[in-house]
């Protein structure tokens, strides 16, 4: 796939410094770039590396100079790189069709423009919207709703009553709407609490491979529009998650937590249940949140505390052995001197 640099600049709202008729045939990072490729430079500190690369042209911020390269100047090279990757590597077309091995209940409704792959199962009263894509081995339970243009990758599962919004993406092996982890323990016996609610996934949400979003005990577990969930993430029953959140790999949110908009959980971070996390909160990797957090808080550690305090704690802990040695030396000196 080949594009004129001038055409790409017009699409991105940028400008060319150099030859606008330069034709670029692929898009990649500096290390992998070959002659004829377009690459990008997000950080001007690496301009020497960019100049030494084989890339024919570079996406850069305004005012960045790289000798010997045609440049495509844009205000945000990182965002431009994301858009260019889609331009050069569009997803494969999925023709409107239902594979003969798919199993559809007579009461299911599948839009004629949807793509239903091999061995997909769609149960009764489920509605599959226009342009939705269900790849091989997907299972969709009863009374589900899959929105326009949503994509369900191989072997993902929607339990009964799950709703997936337009443009959402569910990756391979992810499970949405499975039972919440609810039990009442009496005399050493765990009695299951039936989970009779549902899970609602907003528009443009992305759920990574082998992640799970549990259905509510009663009511709904909600993932807000535009939220992105990495692989191997657990979201418990009755969680109310806002829009545009980021949950990194192996993060977990326990049941009935209320998560605001734009919250970021680092890898393996966890939130206890029945608490509230305000808009824009950031939680460092491997941290554990045990109490509610105000909007905009940045926290880390176990238990999670203010990020600056946590960094001081980590620094002090790294020096703890040195402090112990110094204290023992002072104690020995005191004993040898006969002081009190």
- The answer to whether residues 110 and 92 touch, using CB atoms and an 8 Å cutoff, is no
β 246-247/228-229 pair status: parallel
Q: How far apart are CA 251 and CA 254, in angstroms?
A: 10
Distance CA 288, CA 277 (A): 12
Angle between helices 320-337 and 307-318 (to 10 degrees): 50
State the DSSP code for 93: P
Alpha-carbon distances of 34 from 25, 49, 55, 159, rounded to whole Å? 10, 14, 6, 46
Three-class HEC string of 135-152: CCCCEECCCCEECCCCEE
Q: What residues are annotated to the active site?
A: 237
The rounded distance, in Å, linking the Cα atoms of 270 and 115 is: 37
Query: Tokens 């305090």 appear where?
Result: 309
Q: Name the residue among 166, 131, 115, 175 with its Cα closest to residue 145.
A: 166
Contacts of 17 (CB under 8 A, 6+ apart): 70, 71, 72, 73
């Amino acid at each position: 796939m080949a594009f004129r640099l001038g055409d790409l600049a017009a699409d991105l709202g940028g400008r060319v410094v150099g030859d606008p008729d330069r034709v670029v045939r692929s898009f990649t990072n500096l290390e992998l770039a070959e002659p004829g490729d377009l690459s990008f430079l997000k950080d001007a500190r690496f301009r020497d590396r960019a100049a030494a690369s084989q890339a024919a042209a570079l996406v850069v911020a305004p005012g960045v100079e790289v000798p010997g390269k045609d440049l495509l100047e844009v205000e945000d090279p990182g965002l431009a790189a994301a858009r260019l990757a889609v331009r050069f590597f569009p997803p494969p077309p999925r023709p409107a069709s239902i594979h003969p091995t798919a199993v559809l209940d007579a009461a299911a409704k599948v839009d004629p423009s949807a793509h239903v792959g091999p061995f997909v199962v769609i149960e009764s009263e489920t509605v599959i919207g226009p342009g939705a894509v269900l790849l091989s081995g997907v299972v969709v339970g009863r009374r589900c709703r899959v929105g326009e243009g949503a994509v369900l990758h191989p072997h993902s599962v929607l339990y009964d009553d799950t709703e997936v919004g337009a443009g959402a993406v569910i990756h391979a092996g992810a499970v949405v709407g499975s039972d919440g982890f609810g039990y009442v323990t009496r005399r050493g016996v765990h009695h299951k609490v039936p989970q009779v609610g549902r899970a609602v996934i907003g528009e443009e949400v992305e759920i990574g491979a082998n992640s799970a979003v549990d259905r509510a005990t009663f009511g709904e577990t909600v993932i807000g529009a535009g939220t992105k969930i990495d692989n191997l993430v657990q979201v418990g029953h009755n969680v109310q998650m806002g829009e545009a959140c980021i949950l990194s790999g192996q993060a977990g949110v326990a049941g009935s937590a209320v998560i605001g908009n734009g919250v970021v959980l680092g890898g393996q971070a966890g939130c206890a249940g029945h608490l509230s996390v305000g808009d824009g909160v950031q939680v460092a990797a491997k941290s554990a949140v045990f109490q509610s957090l105000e909007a905009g808080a940045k926290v880390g550690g176990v238990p999670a505390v203010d990020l600056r305090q946590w960094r001081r704690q980590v620094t002090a802990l790294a020096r703890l052995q040195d402090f112990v040695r110094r204290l023992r030396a002072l104690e020995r000196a005191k004993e040898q001197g006969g002081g009190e």
